[in-house]
Structure 1
């Protein structure tokens, strides 16, 4: 059951929408905030570390770096594309460059990195999927991420424009793309945001091309030597075997991927001599007829490294591709191979030293796509009892197929059960198991880290006859996906869960899936579809006689109805929910029902009843210890009190909400509370205090990069400044608000800013400018269809040069 917090009816502050099926206290508003973080850090966006051993690429790295220099003559090249063979080191060059320019401070906004997996058909990302990930990473609420790729691309370019306007220059890295259609929608609209692209092909892009060739003989030798010296020390006597090392380097065909693997073999085995290893590598290459020299070099390096693995290492290596996501945590790998985590950690470290796996983030492990394909082949060979040089032996097949299936069962069950344990921490009324996750923060950290894997598992599970994994994850992840606003993911997995429940005749599960689908559809503002989904759920609940779930269905149906201003129907729905919660003794649900009912009552201007409803919600939140819900209740109560001119009580309510948000470290909602408090203070003409409150709100919105909220704060600040005749500062504030509303395409807000600017200019006796501002306000309101306000402003324009003081806001 979801709750909601809405705006005041005089255009009050709008909050951020959210919700969940588990009575999670959330916030909703008429206008959704676009929150940009102060900095996009490499950890947030998945920028892998650069290898400490980097050689032979100084020229191309310098060229790439110079192309990103912000002060270079002629401007920055928008797109730089690095192309070359698989395993030639394209990603390493780009990562090395990215880390260098970040250290130089050239990109104060940070870096956004995405691996498109362009040559892996099972994991290949579309441009739309990559855009959704990037938009989510930089703080765009899920309800503002469109469903269509073209719309996402337009929003993305607007966001990039917002970053550059704030002088927070970003660097974009699109790695491992296989086609132009994976790249074009991700590109910026102008040259202010540079992009680095890697591909095995020369893509048809308007880009500066950098063809990466294989390493020459000296660079190949340097790479092997530096890796061995770094692991064994510069006094390792084998480093004096120049002939053997050169022979070994030559057999790797200048490919860094192969060179790193054979260097790791030498480093891990101090008694293995370069000449002997070169002989083994040459013998393996002789078997590989029909392959190019580079293909043979990589495959032989893989084979050679694999032959040196222990049974336990080889088993982990071949089972790692069972995980359908981009990487795997140590805990997941331990479940995959059914070994203690400490032992699995050692095995992973062994594979990492062998350069067979990567560590894109601490305690997370990935594979180069060529290595992943090789590991999958080994799984197939093992299943058929076949090595590269032995004929098939069917006697091994059943045992190894059981091994792979058992690994998948263990891993998928691990994800399913751990997800359920973690999401229990997001539920305010259900006891959570603190043995796995001691607190909510750590549970959320696990869910964030495993988010991509969890969705991939839910999608792929039916292919392996595990539909219960899909339904289990779809239901377990609802609260998390709503909380983080991953609405598109929720729609995807919940639709699959609904179809599975329909196929097996699970009516209760189908109803729950309809409910969750409705929440996700409302999250992306597809309210008519959400109403249909909740109506399906309601009918099923009434059919099965599940009174508790029926209350949830009525509540969520009411939320969807309220969003399209069908308040009378919403009031009916919330009243049904309220009655059911009281009948079943669901106290927390009753509080949420009172909250939502209060908002709907305010929507039809029944403010006294709204105050009663929010007071009931406040009492229940205090009784149940729901501190966040209490802050929400105080906030909404204050908005309703202000509507009936009980301003002192409204000031108290907003002050309590502000204090709770400070206590819970909810900085963004603290800014909203300051803004509401300033509005209430202005109503009792405590303008100096209102100026302080709106200034604090503005600073918080800037700190949290909420551009739309910042516009509201500037608008209210300008109104308060004008009231104390600080006209120059008020004109500056309204101008800033106008500019922000224009930037965020909020035409109605822009009209309010033009009106308030016009009024302030008139107060300052700048009547010609005031007329122009009023005319712009009238045009904006007319364009939005708000003819009533347009007519009001037209009347005020006619009153010049002595208009009455009528601010639009305070908002």
Structure 2
């Protein structure tokens, strides 16, 4: 049975599940085992769309495809060997990314080549402000592979080992994945992202020849004149239709333009876009303009000048309003920008901002982002725009633009966070409902975290503190605990530096909650203890009690139950004295979970019942659901089985109503256990099976292990012993891979009983012996003795049957 307790601090809600540890995809150790979800959607949608004006690269595409094709035949048979890593290098704007995208699109269309899809990551290797470290890139790739944030380790080695193990697991299951590592600056940046399983393939692009990757190297050169002319003509026709034949009508001018662009695809596309933006402009006029810029265009073939000349030409055709917004866009620290955010930068209305952004996109100076209404800049364009912006800092009122953007992020994040509060009441303007607030937070998550991290160095430390506090609840809901730890740590340092003791206490509480979620319980205990001390020194009994309640959660997870009970009891008492009924309900709910751990079930029933009544009176339906879930577990222990069935059914309904799939799975799993007690075995089997399905969808491996174990018990009760053996075997495997030795021992004991029923006595004896060994190492004498008794019974039964 599992329980859920909740604590709130500074607008953030922390949920901690006890009586079971809910992992998802993996757990790490020296040796890693990975169980994959039955189906995921890899980051295929992250692959940029292939360009229509792609030409002159047929040979390069075919060579890369030959590298990527699956191996044929075996060693010594003369079959084709797969090249596992291919590295494409060339100067800026040469079309490395486009070549990789076009090749990947072709490869994904080949049956059986990459059934697992493609992972695409842009390392922004040449942009100092956005360059991704291998650690950060691995975090994003692991999330794309369905590994939840709380199970992504901190260190490079651990992340690298986990990432490669997950890729290998997909390959073993026939879901080979193509990895594209774009825009790497060094072998050290790209190397940790490359697979090593001998099956998964990778494409790397860089402006440098990365000969330290043990890769098949492909040097990409400029396009010849024929291909350059084809790019110009195709891009123009794509923009204006097949009737626009200006480049073919003025072949000499087109040849001049192609020569001045020096065969650089990015420069060619921008030149074509300039002509497309002016339907009446002859190609010869564009050629003359390029000739007039002779001082710069002479350097077009130089790697550090090639794109600048094309950008200069495009930039000089911008209107003052377009140019100003273009120069301001790099002030956003994140990867892309919403139209609304751009409006705040430019200090204009959303409609005018959308018009300017579309015009910049038409000029190929920006491009559509991850969804409609979002925009991003190529890293070279971003650097160019930032240089221009610095030279126009005073007339553009650059500092004011940044302040407006940061204020917009702070105000919107604060309003969105208010909509995540489950207590009824008025909400600030900005979002119509909770769903809209969550949608905005999901879209802006990368920008908000990047802004919070960058703000102190830009002279806006208060932005970091504000965002860290406003995002705490969202990051917990989305289980982005690495970001939560980073932001809370930054806010803590800033508040200390400013002497803001209240802010320090809130940052400590948020940090402790995040550490607890990633199972760093001893650190969480230390952090919450410090938060409690800060508020005690300030004489703030209310916040001190919140910190104490959170401390109790961490103590309970560390199995320091008596200390946890004292902490929750003291917190509940103070909340009651202060008239904070919501806080009292949280403390009582947490207290009940801990009381169940020490088998004080009647007291737990009372605590959960009282907490549920408080939540119901206050109209907090979501937390009422958690109280019902925990109450149902306690009711089973005091043999009030019919009440437990009703309570868990209601809890599942509330969780479903709020879209909380994880807790719905927990409620269904607990419901199945209660149904077993009233001999409604088929319903119990159905409930456990539904829970397993939910846990697999969410990749919650620990939840799946618990549900499998409960399913096995239900199957035993209806005599489906072989199926029970399968369920308990899988459960034991899950817990072993997760490192939950106590749960593994319990499942081994149950497995032994199931094996005895099908007269597989040798395996049963081994299962009981293994369980006894685990319990002995864990110091659980009662469980060890029970396992040994089962071992003896099985041993005697085998002896009698053989005798």
TM-score, normalised relative to structure 1:
0.89
Task: Structure 1: state its 5+ residue gaps.
Answer: 1-11, 384-398, 805-811
SS of corresponding position for 2:86: strand
Q: Deviations over 1:576-627 (max 9, x none)?
A: 2212222232222221111011112222221111110000111122222222
Shift of 1:25: 6.8
Q: Residues of 2 paired with 1:17 and 1:140: CA distance?
A: 24
For 2:793, the equivalent position in structure 1 comes to 799
Matched, 1:125 2:132: yes
Query: Which range is displaced more, 120-129 or 451-460?
Result: 451-460
For 1:393, the equivalent position in structure 2 comes to none
Q: Residues of 2 paired with 1:105 and 1:583: CA distance?
A: 68
Shift of 1:676: 1.3
For 1:305, the equivalent position in structure 2 comes to 314
| Contact 2:12–2:473 (8 Å) recurs in 1 | no
Q: Deviations over 1:399-437 (max 9, x none)?
A: 33x711111111111111111111111112374646421
Match of 1:378 among 388, 399, 406: 388
SS of corresponding position for 2:203: strand
For 1:390, the equivalent position in structure 2 comes to none
Matched, 1:32 2:38: no
> What is the correspondence of 1:565-584 to structure 2 with a 5 Å cutoff?
565-584=559-578
Alpha-carbon distance change, 570 to 665 in structure 1, aligned in 2, over 3 angstroms = same
Shift of 1:446: 1.2
Match of 1:214 among 205, 217, 222: 222
Q: Deviations over 1:651-694 (max 9, x none)?
A: 22222222223333333332222221222222344333322222
Q: Residues of 2 paired with 1:430 and 1:703: CA distance?
A: 30
Q: Residues of 2 paired with 1:590 and 1:268: CA distance?
A: 65
Match of 1:361 among 357, 370, 392: 370
Q: Residues of 1 paired with 2:284 and 2:607: CA distance?
A: 83
For 1:394, the equivalent position in structure 2 comes to none
For 2:360, the equivalent position in structure 1 comes to 351
SS of corresponding position for 2:401: helix
> What is the correspondence of 1:495-644 to structure 2 with a 5 Å cutoff?
495-644=489-638
Match of 1:450 among 424, 427, 444: 444
Alpha-carbon distance change, 63 to 619 in structure 1, aligned in 2, over 3 angstroms = farther
Match of 1:229 among 234, 237, 240: 237
Q: Residues of 2 paired with 1:712 and 1:517: CA distance?
A: 29
For 2:93, the equivalent position in structure 1 comes to 87
Q: Residues of 2 paired with 1:741 and 1:98: CA distance?
A: 38
For 2:333, the equivalent position in structure 1 comes to 324
| Contact 2:651–2:667 (8 Å) recurs in 1 | yes
SS of corresponding position for 2:293: helix
Q: Residues of 2 paired with 1:598 and 1:174: CA distance?
A: 49
Matched, 1:701 2:690: no
For 1:717, the equivalent position in structure 2 comes to 711
SS of corresponding position for 2:794: coil
Q: Residues of 2 paired with 1:689 and 1:38: CA distance?
A: 24
SS of corresponding position for 1:325: coil
Match of 2:275 among 266, 276, 279: 266
Alpha-carbon distance change, 276 to 127 in structure 1, aligned in 2, over 3 angstroms = same
Matched, 1:249 2:239: no
Alpha-carbon distance change, 82 to 779 in structure 1, aligned in 2, over 3 angstroms = farther
| Contact 1:38–1:109 (8 Å) recurs in 2 | no
Q: Residues of 2 paired with 1:276 and 1:735: CA distance?
A: 76
Query: Which range is displaced more, 672-681 or 13-22?
Result: 13-22
Shift of 1:205: 1.2
Shift of 1:747: 4.3
Alpha-carbon distance change, 44 to 340 in structure 1, aligned in 2, over 3 angstroms = farther
Q: Residues of 2 paired with 1:96 and 1:755: CA distance?
A: 54
> What is the correspondence of 1:643-682 to structure 2 with a 5 Å cutoff?
643-682=637-676
Shift of 1:115: 1.5
Alpha-carbon distance change, 190 to 42 in structure 1, aligned in 2, over 3 angstroms = closer
> What is the correspondence of 1:462-477 to structure 2 with a 5 Å cutoff?
462-477=456-471
For 2:162, the equivalent position in structure 1 comes to 155
Q: Deviations over 1:332-378 (max 9, x none)?
A: 11111111111111111111111111213222211112111211221
Q: Residues of 2 paired with 1:79 and 1:746: CA distance?
A: 37
Q: Residues of 2 paired with 1:57 and 1:337: CA distance?
A: 40
| Contact 1:113–1:173 (8 Å) recurs in 2 | yes
Q: Deviations over 1:177-226 (max 9, x none)?
A: 11222223333341343332221122211333332222222221111101
For 1:198, the equivalent position in structure 2 comes to 205
Shift of 1:112: 2.9
Q: Deviations over 1:380-404 (max 9, x none)?
A: 3334xxxxxxxxxxxxxxx33x711
Q: Residues of 2 paired with 1:541 and 1:233: CA distance?
A: 68
Alpha-carbon distance change, 481 to 671 in structure 1, aligned in 2, over 3 angstroms = closer
Task: Structure 2: state its 5+ residue gaps.
Answer: 26-35, 74-79, 799-803
| Contact 2:712–2:727 (8 Å) recurs in 1 | yes
For 1:336, the equivalent position in structure 2 comes to 345
| Contact 1:757–1:770 (8 Å) recurs in 2 | yes
Alpha-carbon distance change, 675 to 493 in structure 1, aligned in 2, over 3 angstroms = closer
| Contact 1:762–1:801 (8 Å) recurs in 2 | no
Q: Residues of 1 paired with 2:547 and 2:624: CA distance?
A: 23
> What is the correspondence of 1:369-518 to structure 2 with a 5 Å cutoff?
369-383=379-393, 399-400=394-395, 403-429=397-423, 431=425, 433=427, 435-518=429-512
Q: Residues of 1 paired with 2:473 and 2:739: CA distance?
A: 31
Alpha-carbon distance change, 262 to 456 in structure 1, aligned in 2, over 3 angstroms = same
Shift of 1:124: 1.1
Shift of 1:76: 4.8
Q: Residues of 2 paired with 1:374 and 1:523: CA distance?
A: 42
Q: Residues of 2 paired with 1:138 and 1:584: CA distance?
A: 47
TM-score, normalised relative to structure 2:
0.90
| Contact 2:65–2:103 (8 Å) recurs in 1 | yes
Aligned length, in residue pairs: 777
